[in-house]
Structure 1
Amino acid sequence: MKTNSKSAESNGKRKLKGSAKASNEYRGNNDFPDPTVLSPEERTAQFGRLFLRAVERRAAKQPVD
């Protein structure tokens, strides 16, 4: 099978796409989970913080009538 990716050729694996690529990350060594993966509660809290910061920045740019 021929691929365009040099990295896929060099390690002898076929290149994964989309959800297969994402799910493949969880098949390997689960002793050390990815620290960037957040629980739903943490993700919601982080979104809230980032959203509020963005709103505050935007409000600071707007001239007050």
Structure 2
Amino acid sequence: MGEEPRRGRPAIAGKYGAVLAQNRAEGLSVKPRVERRLQCGNMLWNAVMDYLTCLINEI
């Protein structure tokens, strides 16, 4: 089976070996830029709390 194609520039561009930069780019490509976990105080937390408050007020 073939190797998965790499993202970004080739590992060697001219005389610059970009192995470290390539590894960093691959790691960052899968990391979400926006915090998606429900943590007290973040935007998602506030949206959930507002929604739940509306539900409770309707009862």
Q: Which band: TM-score by shorter chain?
A: 0.3 to 0.5
TM-score by length of 1: 0.30
Decide which structure has the larger Cα Rg and report it.
2
Structure with the larger RCO, 1 or 2 (CA within 8 Å, 6+ apart): 2
As a proportion of its length, which structure holds more helix? 1
